[in-house]
Amino acid sequence: MTASVCVVGAGPRGTALVERIVANAPQRRIDVHVVDPHPPGGGHVWQPDQPGHLLMNTVAADTTLFTDDSVRCAGPVVPGPSLYEWARRIARDGHRDPAVLDEAVRTLPWSHPTRRFHGRYLAWAYDRAKAAAPEWITIHEHRTRAVALTEDAAGRQIVALEDGSGPLAVDAVILALGHTDLEPTAEQEAYARFAADHGLFYGPPANPLDASLDAVPPGAPLLVRGLGMNFFDHMSLLTTGRGGRFDHDGERLRYRPSGREPVLYAGSRRGVPYLARGDYGRMPPVVPARYFDDAAVARLRAAGPVDFRAEVWPLIAKETAAVYYDVLIREKPTAFAMRAERFREQFDALPWEDPAMAELIGSAFPDPAVHLDFAALYRPLDGVPLDREPVHETVQTLVRADLAQARDARRSPLKNAMTALGATRGPVRRLVAHGGLTGRSHRRDLDGWFQGFAASVASGPPAGRVHELLALADAGLMRFAGPDLTVTADPAAGVFLGSSPRTGADPVEAPAFLEAHLPPPDLGRTADPLLRRLRADGACRPYRIPTPGGPVYQTRGMDVAEGSFRIIDARGREHPRRFALGIPIESVDWLTAMGAKPASNAAMLVQADAVARAALTVR
C-alpha cells in the first residue's frame, strides 16, 4: 500500500523533514511531495543566488542540518557535516563554482559565512537526503505555492497548488513555512497611498531581498525605522549593493561611494544599533550554566505556569552577571576590592534580587562605572539629555565603544556576559514552550521585553558589519536619528517627516521611507493563502495562554499539540493528519527560527524527527 506525505516549505526545516522522512521510512511505497516556489534546501531566505555581501548571523561551526549522538530522537541518527565541515570538504576536493571554492577556503569555524554559501550547503543537504532515499521512496518537487488544504470523505488531505498543477491527495501534510507576508496595517496602507500619490518610496516590513530598493533615489535622504539585523542587510544592499566598496586604510575602514547611495537617517525604539557580536578570534566561549540549568528549568516547569520577571529573569541575570564579574576580576583585578573566592561564595549564595547582592557587588567593585547595568544596555540613551547633546555623535560614540569591546572580546567582560546571556535563550525556549509562562507574563515579559532585549544585546551583527556602519557614518551616508523615531506624512511639502521626540531637532524631510524589520508571525493578519484559508475554515486557531485567575493571552501564533505538533482547529480538536513546525507556531515554540547547532540536541532536528515519524504512521 502506498503512503504519501506533503511537506509545504522547502527551507531548512522542510529539508530537515525530508531527511528525517527518508531516515525513518518503512520499507513500503512512499510518495513525498515538497511544495515551495523556491529551490529546495535554502527556500526563500537562503537562496544560493543572492548577493555575496549578505552574511549569516551564525558562525559556520554552529550550523548543521544533521542529527548526531546528542539528538534525543526516536529515529536513526544519520550524521552529516556542519557548515564548516562541509566547507573543509570543498576546500579539499574543489568545486565547479570558483566563488564557492574561494569562500570555502577562507571559512574558519568562527566565520560568518555569506547567506548564499549557506544556501549552497542547504541545497547540498537536500540533494544528499534525496539521493539517500531507497527505491521505494519517490520525492516529487512542486515549484509553486500551496493555497488551500481540505480533505475528502476518506480523510485524504487535498492540497491545492497555485499553478493549477494539483491537487495533491496525500495521507499527511506538514506545514514547514517560514516568514509569510502580512496584510498591511492601516498605518502601512496610509504610508503606501501617500507614497503613491506623491511619487515617493515606501518600503513596508519585508525580507530585504523582497524590498524594491531600486526605487530608492540616489543621493536623497532615506528614513529608516529599525536598527536590528534586518537593517544591516538593507544597509549592505543600499551601499555595497549599489557599487560602493570598503577599503582598509591602516586600522581605519573607509567607504568609497559609487554615488548611487541614499543618505540613511536611521532610528528605532532604542535609537541604537544591535550590539556587535564578540570577535574572539576563535569559537565563542561556552560556560556551563550555574544557576539557570536543566534542573532549574525542570523545577520551574513543574511549578508552572510561572512569571518570567519574578522567577526566570533573576536566574538569567545572575547567570549573565557571574560571567561578567568573573572576566572583570580576571582582566581588571585593580577594579576588584575583595578576595575572589569570598566574592564568588557570597555571589553563589545570594538571590539576584536580594538587596544584599547589590551591596556585595558595590563593595567588591567600588567604581560604579564597571557595574553591569541591564537597563542601560537595553536603553542606553534613556539617561542622556538628547535635547542638549547631538544624537548622531552620541550614538556614534556608543557604537565605537561597543566595536572596540567586540574586537577584544576575549578580554571584554561585557562581550563574554552577552554571549552567556544569549546561551540562556535555549533553556528559556524549553521552559516557556506550550504554556510554561502565565499568559500575562508571556505577553508582557517575553514578547514585550526579553525577546527584543536578548536579540539587541546578544544576537547582533558580526563586528565587521558594525565597522562598516561607522565607515558609512564617516562618509556622511549614515545618520543616527534618535530613539522612538516617528514618521509622518507632510502632504503640503510632499515628503515624509522623521523625528525623535527626545532630540528636539527639526524633522528630517525625505522622499523615501523604509521599515527595516521583518513582519512578525501573525495568524490573524497573514497574507499567505494557505494559512488564511485554514483560519477562515476554522481548521486552525491562534494559540491562547491562560493566566490563573487572570486574562487569557491570545497570541499571534498557530496552536499545535504539545509533542505531536498536530494542528488544533477552532473547536480545540487535534487533526490526526496535519502538522505544523516553524515560524507560524512561534508563540507555542518560542525562538523557533533558531537553527540547528551540532552537539546540542537541536530542537529543530528533534521536532523534525518526531513529526516525520508521526506523518509516516498516519493511516
Encode burial over 221-257: b for 16+ CB neighbours within 10 A, e otherwise. bbbbbbbbbbbbbbbbbbbbbbebebeeeeeebebeb
Q: Is the pLDDT of residue 619 over 80?
A: no
Q: What is the mean pLDDT of residues 526-533?
A: 97
Cell readout for 527 is 497574507
pLDDT of 315? 98
Question: If residue 509 lies in a helix (H) or strand (E), which one and from where to where?
Answer: strand 508-510
pLDDT of 304? 80
- Going by C-alpha positions, the residue among 34, 43, 236 that lies closest to residue 121 is 43
Q: Is the pLDDT of residue 343 over 90?
A: yes
Q: What is the pLDDT of residues 345-395, one digit of tens each?
A: 999 999 999 999 999 999 999 999 999 999 999 999 998 999 889 999 999
DSSP β-ladder status, 495-499 and 486-490: antiparallel
pLDDT of 367? 95
Q: What is the mean pLDDT of residues 49-57?
A: 96
Q: What is the pLDDT of residues 289-299, one digit of tens each?
A: 999 999 999 99
Q: What is the pTM of this model?
A: 0.96
pLDDT of 251? 82
Output the average pLDDT for the chain. Answer: 97
* pLDDT above 90 coverage of the chain, percent: 97
pLDDT of 504? 87
Domain 3-55+64-73+123-181+521-616 belongs to what architecture? Answer: 3-Layer(bba) Sandwich (3.50)
DSSP structure class, residue 306: B
pLDDT of 424? 97
- Going by C-alpha positions, the residue among 9, 119, 139, 113 that lies closest to residue 65 is 119
Whole-angstrom distance, CA of residue 564 vs CA of residue 615: 10
Whole-angstrom distance, CA of residue 314 vs CA of residue 296: 12
Q: What is the pLDDT of residues 200-224, one digit of tens each?
A: 999 999 999 999 999 999 999 999 9
Q: Is the pLDDT of residue 250 over 90?
A: no
* pLDDT above 70 coverage of the chain, percent: 100
CATH annotation of 186-273+462-515: 3.50.50
Report H helices in 451-597: 451-458, 463-474, 529-536
Q: Is the pLDDT of residue 48 over 80?
A: yes
DSSP structure class, residue 126: H
What are the respective helix, strand and coil percentages of the chain, to the nearest 5?
A: 40, 20, 40
Q: What is the mean pLDDT of residues 271-292?
A: 96
Q: Using an 8 Å Cβ cutoff, are 297 and 427 in contact?
A: yes
Give CA separation, 336 vs 322, 374, 487, in Å.
14, 20, 47
The confidence band for 513, taking pLDDT boundaries of 50, 70 and 90, is very high
Whole-angstrom distance, CA of residue 56 vs CA of residue 595: 11
Task: Report which residue type is found at 40.
Answer: P
pLDDT of 418? 98
Cell readout for 27 is 520499507
The confidence band for 2, taking pLDDT boundaries of 50, 70 and 90, is confident
pLDDT of 588? 94
Q: Is the pLDDT of residue 562 over 80?
A: yes
Question: What are the sequence ranges of the domains in the chain?
Answer: 3-55+64-73+123-181+521-616, 186-273+462-515, 294-458
Give CA separation, 245 vs 140, 242, 257, in Å.
43, 9, 7
Domains 3-55+64-73+123-181+521-616 and 186-273+462-515 share a fold: yes
- Going by C-alpha positions, the residue among 243, 256, 240, 175 that lies closest to residue 208 is 240
Q: Is the pLDDT of residue 1 over 80?
A: no
